[in-house]
Amino acid sequence: MKTMNCFYYFKEKARSRGHKSAPELRNPINKSENSGTDSGGAVINSTGSEISPRNIIDLYEEKVAKLRAFSFSELRIATNDFSRQFKIGEGGFGCVYKGKIKDVDDHGDHLVVAVKKLNKDGFQGHKQWLAEVQFLGVVEHPNLVKLIGYCAVDGERGIQRLLVYEYMPNQSLEDHLFNKAYPTLPWETRMQIILGAARGLAYLHEELEVQVIFRDFKTSNVLLDEDFQAKLSDFGLAREGPTLGRSHVSTAVVGTYGYAAPDYIETGHLTSKSDVWSFGVVLYEILSGRRSMDRSRPKSEHILLDWVKQFPTDSKKFTSIMDPRLESLYSVNAARKIAKLAESCLVKSSKERPKMSEVVEKLQRIIKTTNDGSPGDTSSSPIENKVGESKKAEKVGATESSRRRLAHLAKLGEQVEGLGRRKFLIMQKAKVAT
């Protein structure tokens, strides 16, 4: 959970004092922010069906009883007084610590959790903390991180805002893609992760009674459980989608440079297709092993989306964009299809981008085709050079066979003494060479 480069930050003073059993929610969306239609006058529905008159607050009030209200002292004990040794991440919200809490069954068992503590001087404040409770208190999906509870205390020592999540032992997708201290993320695992992330977004966009726009989809917000299943986290910037009769939500532009859709940056018009753009960027990060923006590289390679344009998906140069850490252990055919899917997510017109449910279907087909394909499909050589691949495979196979035979002969040669042993090996090597 690295520091998030937001387009803005704000300061908000507390308006009330005293501990609350549950966060008191106020709708952060002004009626004026839901106004407007696109140039074509189109109306975007939340879920593809008739939009519910209820909003996220209504849904939250139904489910708030499922969340645990922790005291500050409980979480301080759980994290050893927020010890640096327990710190596992840091972002715009503040620091995240690993901790242990008593299980709700009270059988003496402990549950490992992640505790996020608001940094009062950080980019994000009470409004983002409230959004996290609001949205994660409502959503429930295998590919979304589970919120266990919260802590909200206004006391003599100031305001304390904390969130308690399920613990994700394999950290984030960002860590595994870009941190060389981590082992290389295999191709199959990358496909599993990105499919899970797509399912999470599709659920938010199309399967809830109220549409949720994530608004900050990026690799650091894709966490990984013990089985490397992806779970979206950090809902501090999430927003409700447009209401009936509206095409978008008008908001201040927030997010992370390199991931935010250009149409959203230019107009402040937020739709679910803004998330689709961000997903397209992450697809290219999955393929290339490069960050969306990386100023440590040559100037022409700073912006990933500009750099990959030099290597069209149907060209022989395409494999130049692939992550060298994969060492050719991937399907070129599948990689091309993933790149084409990314391009469809990155089209200029937001209305022409696919829905996330469509992205999920395409990813499933690509993965199934790859799994059903022949072993030769994992070669990184261009598809057009299949004849050359065959000859190369024969040569490699012959070399490996020769090595195995020599090793076997060497073992037999241990039984031959003196000059006779040397003569024996020389003769056998000559046979292998012929």
At 197-232, the pLDDT tens digits run 999 999 999 999 899 999 999 999 999 999 999 999
Q: What is the mean pLDDT of residues 369-375?
A: 68
116 is in an annotated binding site: no
Averaged confidence pLDDT in the chain: 79
Between 16-30, 63-77, 192-206, the lowest mean confidence (pLDDT) is in 16-30
Q: Which of 175, 216, 275, 323 is catalytic?
A: 216
**402 pLDDT tier (thresholds 50, 70, 90):** low
CB count in 10 Å sphere of residue 100: 17
Decide if pLDDT at 114 tops 90.
yes
Q: Is 216 a catalytic residue?
A: yes
Q: What is the mean pLDDT of residues 359-363?
A: 98
**62 pLDDT tier (thresholds 50, 70, 90):** confident
**353 pLDDT tier (thresholds 50, 70, 90):** very high
Between 198-207, 278-287, 365-374, the lowest mean confidence (pLDDT) is in 365-374
